[in-house]
A and B are shown apart, each in its own frame.
Chain A
Amino acid sequence: MTAPTDVVAKRMADAAEATPDIAIDVHGLTKSFDGRTVVRDLSMQVRRGSIYGFLGPNGSGKTTTIRMLCGLLTPDSGSGTCLGYDILTQADKIKLHVGYMTQRFSLYQDLSVRENLEFVGRLYGVPDPRAAARDMIKRLGLDGRGEQIAGSLSGGWKQRLALGACTLPGPQLLLLDEPTAGVDPKARREFWNEIHALADEGLTVLVSTHYMDEAERCHEIAYIAYGELLTHGTVDQVIAQAGLSTYTVSGEGLSRLSDALSEDKALMVAPFGNSLHVSSRDAQALERAIAAHRDEGRWTWTRAEPSLEDVFIDLMSRSRDNFK
């Protein structure tokens, strides 16, 4: 269940010569397409061996940032290093040590699982591509499917194959762009177990996602919206930094309550199943606003920890306001 030993040894040797504990260290990255700024003044540091979650709504600049990190896009301004190599001048070196899993399945649909893996192995100069592919097929749990055409795999298997292809050359850093989009919960769980296993072997993983439960599986997270990195840290830190006070409300006729509370700009109201989360950065304003409704006695009000989602929705709505 491990990568070929010589590949591991090479990885360790490479890791030792580069910067010791920071895998990604970039400052002020900016990128625009046709005059539209997609990423604005983005700085981030990712520790080696950590799983770094990259969250944000669609079109927030996650993919663009990841592409700048692995040399697929050139930033308009900003600088930094990836695995100790300059992202502006040493893209070739970075490519050797980074596994990039694209959002859309980008292996060859008309090649078999084994052929795809062997192709990747040969491109990276893995000593014995056949053996490496065979080991990887076993590791992926694709035994007996090595000869299956990649295009005919189900979504979940495709994701696993793609992960296998980018880990096969023994990279030090994995950049995973929404690897679990459109994958069923069981496959997602297995996928994340694999990511943790890889991190335990010493890999650094930067993974973008929409799923809050996945964010909580990361060592550290960053939230990006409208091209700007709004917050980062551990999940607890991010929640604490947001300074939100939250109530959970349950009972009948919540949609009427939601409509009424939404009119107050200081409040943030979000439905969660049969309950409602009402949050605000201003605890006193929150108490004042809900006082009247509380007295009605129709609903049960419980003081709650704000969830990550509350924090993100708050961040997003405030950052949108900044853009107006």
Chain B
Amino acid sequence: MKMFAGGFWRRVGAMVRKEFLQLRRDRITLATMVTVPLMQLVLFGYAINTTPRYLPTAVLLQEQSDVGRSILAALQNTRYFKVTQLPRTADEMDHLLAAGQVLFAVEIPANFERAVRRGDRPTLLVAADATDPVAAGSAMSSLGTVVQTALRNDRLIPDSGQTPFEIRSHARYNPAASTQLNIVPGLLGTILTMTMLIFTALSVTRESERGTMESLLAMPITPIEIMLGKIAPYVLIGIFQAALIIGAGVLLFAVPIVGDPVLLAVLTTLFIAANLATGYTFSTVAQNQLQAVQMAMMYFLPNLLLSGFMFPYAGMPVWAQWISEAFPLTHFIRIVRAIMLKGSTLDDLHYDTAAMLVLTLVAMLIAVTRFRRTLD
């Protein structure tokens, strides 16, 4: 370093000073510096819980008996289960599981109480949605003790001796509790969110930064036409990417596609559009490409943490669940797990489908209204 004699620190200092001056004028970067760590801390600290509690549970009471009521009350009292549904038939119960409205279904069969008293060891049927093994795991393992304690407290069974009933649990949709089966569909959504967001987040800011926007605005084309024209090519790229991920998931990790592949393709396309529209919205708000990327990252982080991909949705507090409902990824992860692992049909998925559609339209609406037709 003998190129310029002396003044090394002066020149470094001048550079540092200049960087700070530029940083001070870049509000979005400053905002990212504050919000990203805070957001991570709050989300990780309060929202994420790997041993989730209050899991939505359906109880099918085939008989009205003290034992049945006692079990129901016991489940309610634990912090693991929250009995949200009382279906009347087994079909109804299956539908609740398939639609993802409940993670557990407990069936108390007819004549259960009489069989207990006679010492016949009847079977209590428990079905868990094991598409997310983490969510189901700890609740599942506690179930037996919970029920037994409840019945003992109510003096319905003797204090000691063999359990007077048998719990037959069934890990639905993922009997081997394989993590890959859970992760691969989730990854499909996460990867698509990441790539699609960045594609369109840059699209409008790039035109503004390179000066091509001025020409474009002077030409006879409307904001909606610009938006659709910019989103459409990436829909194709997204579909290609989705096919690649699903193909690799099937070939490498033996992830099944139990449900309708056409439905999967259609809803994946909708999800791709939702993310492209969201990215495009950032693009109309951001002033330059760097800001657009930062906004996309700020949006992506809570997506990753709260969508149910990394941590069980059911384990989050309600406020965090409300936030995650605003992410297309939350709905898509439910949809893709449901179609690929559970074989769910559109009938089971209309809520999440409608939610994605609404989010897409809202993003597009914001983008079109935010888009400045003039240089004012």
Contact = CB atoms under 8 A, between A and B. Distances in A.
A71 interface: yes
A71 B375 CA distance: 9
11 contacts: A72-B217, A73-B375, A92-B220, A95-B219, A100-B218, A102-B214, A102-B215, A104-B211, A105-B211, A107-B212, A124-B219
Interface in A169-213: none
A67 interface: yes
A60 interface: no
Interface residues of A, number: 22
A123 interface: yes
B376 interface: yes
A123 B214 contact: no
B374 A98 contact: no
Contacts of A107: 212, 215
Contacts of B217: 72
B211 A102 contact: yes
A74 B374 CA distance: 7
Interface in B329-376: 374-376
Interface in A103-129: 104-109, 120, 123-124
B214 A106 contact: yes
A123 B218 CA distance: 11
A95 B375 contact: no
Contacts, number: 47
A118 to B, nearest CB: 14
Interface in B108-159: none
B374 A106 contact: no
7 closest A-B pairs by CB: A106-B215, A100-B218, A95-B220, A104-B211, A106-B211, A102-B214, A96-B220
A74 B220 CA distance: 17
B2 interface: no
B376 A74 contact: yes
A67 B374 CA distance: 9
Interface in B195-226: 210-215, 217-221
A144 B376 CA distance: 40
A70 interface: yes
Interface in A72-102: 72-74, 92, 95-96, 98, 100, 102
Contact of A67 (B210, B211, B375): B375
A73 B374 CA distance: 5
Nearest to B218: A100
Given A73-B374, A74-B374, A109 B210 contact: yes
Nearest to A97: B220
Interface string A2-40: 000000000000000000000000000000000000000
B220 A123 contact: yes
Contacts of A71: 218, 374
Which residue, A72, A100, A124, has most C-beta atoms of chain B within 10 A? A72
Contact of B218 (A72, A108, A109): A72
Contacts of A102: 211, 214-215, 218
Contacts of B218: 70-72, 95, 98, 100, 102
Contacts of B215: 100, 102, 106-107, 165
Given A102-B211, A102-B214, A123 B219 contact: yes
B212 A106 contact: yes
Given A71-B218, A106-B213, 10 more contacts: A72-B214, A72-B218, A73-B375, A74-B374, A98-B218, A102-B211, A104-B211, A106-B214, A106-B215, A120-B219
Nearest to B225: A123
Contacts of B221: 123
A105 B221 CA distance: 19
Interface in B212-260: 212-215, 217-221
Contacts of B214: 72, 102, 104, 106
B205 to A, nearest CB: 15
B85 to A, nearest CB: 55
A165 B210 CA distance: 17
A294 to B, nearest CB: 53
Contacts of A108: 210, 212
B209 to A, nearest CB: 11
A259 B72 CA distance: 103
A181 to B, nearest CB: 14
Contacts of A72: 214, 217-218, 374-375
A118 B220 CA distance: 15
Contacts of B220: 92, 95-96, 123-124
A78 to B, nearest CB: 15
A120 B221 CA distance: 11
A109 B215 CA distance: 13
Contacts of A73: 374-376
A105 B217 CA distance: 14
Contacts of B213: 106
Nearest to B212: A106
Contacts of B374: 71-74
Contacts of B210: 106, 108-109
Contacts of A74: 374, 376
Nearest to B222: A92
Interface in B67-86: none
Contacts of A124: 219-220
Contacts of B211: 102, 104-106
A70 B215 CA distance: 11
Contacts of B375: 67, 72-73
Contacts of A70: 218
Contacts of A105: 211
B346 to A, nearest CB: 38
B36 to A, nearest CB: 31
Which residue, B214, B215, B220, has most C-beta atoms of chain A within 10 A? B215
Contacts of A95: 218-220
A259 B313 CA distance: 82
Contacts of B376: 73-74
A67 B218 CA distance: 9
A72 B218 CA distance: 7
Contacts of A92: 220
Which residue, B210, B212, B213, B219, has most C-beta atoms of chain A within 10 A? B219
A71 B220 CA distance: 11
Nearest to A109: B210
